Structure 1
Amino acid sequence: MRNKVKLSWPLLIYGLLVLLAFWGTVLHWQTGLLQAGSIGGLAGWELLKVLGGTSAIIIPMLVGYYQGPIHRRWPLALGYGLVGAVTFSLAHWLPSGGGTTERYLVQQIFITWLGTLLLWMAAPVLHRILHRWQAKQRRTVILALIGVFLVLEILGWQMLLGFAGGRSLVWLAFLFTIGDWLATDRAWWQRFSRWFYLVLGLISWLLTALTIWLHNSRVDYNPHRGLLVDHLHQLIGIAPCQPLLLITSVLLLMAVGYHHLAISLADLGRGILTLNLLGIPLAFAPVASKIPWLLCWIVLTAAIITGLPLLFERLFADVSWTISGAAIRRWAGRVIRFGWPLLLTYLILWLLTVASFALLWNNDWTMVTWAVTKRAAIININTLMIFAICLVLMAITNRWWLSSGITIAFYIGWIVASQLKIAAREEPILPTDMSTLTAPKEMLGMVDSKTIVAVVGGAILLLGVCAWLEHRYGHPRLRWWGRLGVALVAVLFLGSFTRANHSNSLTFKQLQKYHDIPYFYKQIRGAQMNGTLLQFANNIDVHVMTKPVGYSAARMHQIEQRYTTVGAKINQDRQHGTVGRQNLVFVLSESFADPSRVPGMKVHGGDPLPFLHQLEKHTTSGLMLSSGYGGGTANMEYQALTGLAVASFSPTMPTPYSQLVPYQKRAWSINQLFNYSIGIHPFTANLYSRKTVYHKFGFAKFYHFGSADKLTYTKKIYHNPKVSDDSTYKEITLNLRRQPHGKFVQVATMQNHMPYQNYYRHNHYSISGDNFSEGQENSIETYIQGIHYTDTALKSWIHQLDELDQPTTVVWYGDHLPGIYNKVSMSKYGVPLHETDYFIYSNKAARRLNHDRIVNQHQLVSPNVFGALALAKMDMKVSPYYALLTKVSEEIPATSLPLDGSSKNNTAHQGGISFVDQHGKEVKLNAKQRQLYHDYQLVQYDLTAGHGYLMKDRFLKSVAK
Structure 2
Amino acid sequence: MVEGEQGRAEARPHVWWRRRRVLSVGTSRWWTRRLLSAFLGAAGLFIVAVVIALVLNLVLMGTQPQYSWDDRLMRTSGLLGVDVLVLWTLLLLAWAAIGRWWWTVGLVLALVPLILTAALRKLDERQEPLYPADLAFLSEPGFLFSMVPPLLAVLVLLAVVVIIAAVGGGGEWMTGRRGRPRTRGKELLAVVAVRVVVLVVTGLLVVQMGRFNEDDNAWRHLYEERGAVWRPWSQQENYLSNSVVGGFLYNMPTAAMERPEGYSEEAMRDLAARWQTAADELNVGRDGSFADTNVVVVLSESFSDPTQVDGLDVPEDPIPLTRETMAGTTAGTMLATGIGGGTANAEFEVLTGEHLGLFAPQMVVPYQMLVPDFATYPSLVGTLRTAGHRAVAVHPYLAGMYKRPSVYDTFGFDEFVTEDDIRFTDRTDDNPYIDDAAAFDEVLAQIEESDAPLVTNLVTMQNHAQYGNKYDDVPDVGASDELRLGPSFDVALGDYVRGLEDSDAALRDFLDALEQSDEDTIVLFYGDHLPGIYADTLRRINGDLVMHSTPFFAWSNRGNEPVDAGVASSALLMPYLYDVADAPLPPYVALLRTFHERVGSVFQGQVVTPGGQTVAEEDLDPEQQRLLEDLRLVQYDVAVGDRYVTDEMWPGSTGQRD
TM-score by structure 1 length?
A: 0.47
Does the C-alpha gap of structure 1 residues 215 and 651 become closer, same or farther in structure 2, counting only changes over 3 Å? closer
Partner Cα distance (1:663, 1:497) in 2: 18
Q: Sort the Cα spacing of 1:371 and 1:877 in 2 relative to 1 into closer, same or farther, 3 A.
A: farther
Counting only pairs closer than 5 Å after superposition, residues 648-663 of structure 1 correspond to structure 2 as: 648-663=358-373
Tell me the SS of whatever aligns to 1:878: coil
Whether 2:443 is the aligned partner of 1:732: answer yes
1:926 to 621, 633, 646: 621
Counterpart residue number, 2:537:
824
Q: Which amino acid aligns with 1:633?
A: T
1:776 correspondence with 2:498: no
Matches for 1:212-611 after TM superposition, within 5 Å: 220-221=117-118, 225-228=142-145, 369=161, 372=164, 468-469=185-186, 473=190, 494-499=207-212, 505=220, 541-576=253-288, 578-604=289-315, 606-611=316-321
| Residues 215-244 of structure 1 deviation map (CA, whole Å, 9 limit, x = unaligned) | 98998458773344576679x9xxxxxxxx
Matches within 5 A, 1:51-200: 151-152=44-45, 155=48, 157-158=50-51
Q: Shift of the alpha carbon at 1:954?
A: 6.6
Q: Given that residues 585 and 745 in structure 1 are in contact (C-alpha distance below 8 angstroms), is that contact kept between their aligned partners in structure 2?
A: yes
Name the residue aligned to 1:760: 471
- Checking the alignment, whether the CA contact within 8 Å between 2:479 and 2:485 is kept in structure 1 is no
Structure-2 separation of matches of 1:890 and 1:762: 44
Matched position secondary structure for 1:935: helix
Q: Name the CA distance, whole Å, in 1 between partners of 2:513 and 2:167.
A: 52
Distance 1:219 1:496 in 2: 21
2:630 aligned with 1:935: yes
Asked if 2 retains the 8 angstrom alpha-carbon contact of 1:623 and 1:861, the reply is yes
Give the 3 Å change call, closer, same or farther, for CA 894–648 of structure 1 in structure 2: same
Q: Give the whole-Å Cα distance in 1 for the aligned partners of 2:438 and 2:372.
A: 30
Question: Are the equivalent residues in 1 in contact too, given 2:345–2:365 (CA < 8 A)?
Answer: yes
Q: Provide the C-alpha distance between the structure 2 equivalents of 1:834 and 1:892, rounded to a whole number of angstroms.
A: 19
Say whether the 8 Å CA contact 2:110–2:161 is kept in structure 1. no
- 1:894 and 2:606 aligned: no
**Corresponding residue of 2:528:** 815
Runs (5+) with no aligned partner, structure 2: 1-35, 59-68, 71-107, 122-136, 169-181, 229-243, 654-658
- Contact 1:703 1:711 (C-alpha < 8 Å) held by counterparts: yes
- CA apart distance, 1:835: 0.3
* 1:642 partnered with 2:352: yes
Q: Is the Cα–Cα contact under 8 Å of residues 328 and 561 in structure 2 kept in the other structure? A: no
Residues 647-692 of structure 1, C-alpha deviation per residue, up to 9 Å, x if partnerless?
1111111111111111013201101222211100000121111011
Structure 1 residues 493 and 602: CA distance shift in structure 2, 3 A: same
Contact between 2:252 and 2:362, CA under 8 Å: does it hold in 1?
A: no
> Which residue of 2 is the match for residue 691 of structure 1?
405
AA at the equivalent of 1:717 = T
Cα distance change on mapping 1:806 and 1:932 into 2, 3 Å:
same
Aligned position for 2:130: none
| Equivalent residues of 1:879, 1:956 under 8 A apart | yes
Partner residue, 2:571: 864
Please report how far the alpha carbon of residue 741 of structure 1 lies from its aligned counterpart in structure 2 after TM superposition.
3.8
Distance 1:217 1:931, change over 3 A: closer
Q: Give the SS at the match of 1:813.
A: strand
SS in 1 for 2:378: coil
Contact 2:478 2:489 in 1 (8 A): no
Deviation at 1:733, TM superposition (A): 1.0
Aligned partner of 2:26 in structure 1 is: none
Cross-structure match for 1:951: 646
Contact 1:853 1:874 in 2 (8 A): no
Distance 2:342 2:564 in 1: 27
Q: Which runs of 5+ in 1 are unaligned?
A: 1-142, 169-210, 237-363, 377-464, 478-482, 514-529, 899-912
1:765, distance to aligned residue in structure 2 (A): 3.1
Local SS of the residue matching 1:858: strand
Aligned position for 2:87: none
Match of 2:499 among 783, 786, 792: 786
Q: Is the 8 A contact 1:152 1:158 kept in 2?
A: no
Identity of aligned residues (%): 27
Q: TM-score w.r.t. structure 2 length? A: 0.67
Aligned equivalents of 2:469, 2:199: Cα separation in 1: 58
Q: Flag the 1:160–1:665 CA change in 2: closer, same or farther, 3 A.
A: closer
| Residues 1:681 and 2:395 are matched in the alignment | yes
Cα displacement (A) at 1:212: 12
Number of residue pairs the alignment of both structures matches: 501
Tell me which amino acid in the other structure corresponds to 2:301: E
**Aligned match of 2:417 in 703, 706, 715?**
703
Report the CA distance between 1:740 and its aligned residue.
2.6
Structure 2 counterpart of 1:615: 325
- Aligned residue type for 2:476: Y
* Aligned amino acid, residue 808 of structure 1: T
After superposition, what is the alpha-carbon deviation per residue over 1:900-945, rounded to whole angstroms, capped at 9, x for unaligned? xxxxxxxxxxxxx221124432113322111011101100000110
Maintained 8 Å contact 2:253/2:362: yes
Partner Cα distance (2:53, 2:267) in 1: 55
Whole-Å separation in 2 of the counterparts to 1:486 and 1:213: 22
Separation in 2 of the partners of 1:711 and 1:486?
48
Are the equivalent residues in 2 in contact too, given 1:658–1:689 (CA < 8 A)? yes
Change (3 A) 1:917 1:215: closer
Paired position in structure 1 for 2:382 = 672
Q: Distance in 2 between matches of 1:595 and 1:585?
A: 25
SS of alignment partner, residue 817 of structure 1? coil
Distance 1:864 1:771, change over 3 A: farther
Q: Distance in 1 between matches of 2:167 and 2:463?
A: 31
Q: Deviations over 1:442-476 (max 9, x none)?
A: xxxxxxxxxxxxxxxxxxxxxxx999547864899
CA contact (8 A) 1:601 1:768 kept: yes
Instruction: Tell me the CA shift for residue 640 of structure 1.
Output: 0.4
User: RMSD of aligned C-alpha atoms?
Assistant: 4.5
Structure possessing the higher radius of gyration over alpha carbons: 1
Q: CA deviation at 1:374?
A: 13
Separation in 1, partners of 2:334, 2:614: 15
CA contact (8 A) 1:729 1:797 kept: yes
Cα deviation digits, residues 75-122 of structure 1 (max 9, x gap): xxxxxxxxxxxxxxxxxxxxxxxxxxxxxxxxxxxxxxxxxxxxxxxx
TM-superposition CA deviations, 1:329-387 (whole Å, max 9, x none): xxxxxxxxxxxxxxxxxxxxxxxxxxxxxxxxxxx9869637859999xxxxxxxxxxx
The one-letter code matched in structure 2 to 1:654 is V
Distance 1:371 1:703, change over 3 A: farther
Q: Partners of 1:788 and 1:507 in 2: how far apart?
A: 53
Which amino acid letter does the alignment assign opposite residue 879 of structure 1?
P
Q: 1:492 to 1:564 in 2, by over 3 A?
A: same
Aligned AA (1:369): V
What is the CA deviation profile of residues 130-169 of structure 1, one whole-angstrom value per residue up to 9, with x for unaligned ones? xxxxxxxxxxxxx99xx8699549955447999x99x99x
Alpha carbons of 1:374 and 1:815: their partners in 2 closer, same or farther (altered >3 Å)? farther
- Secondary structure of the residue aligned to 1:840 is strand
Query: 2:189 and 2:437 mapped to 1: Cα distance?
Result: 74
Instruction: Give the distance between the partners of 1:509 and 1:375, measured in 2 at CA.
Output: 35
Tell me which moved more, 738-747 or 649-658: 738-747
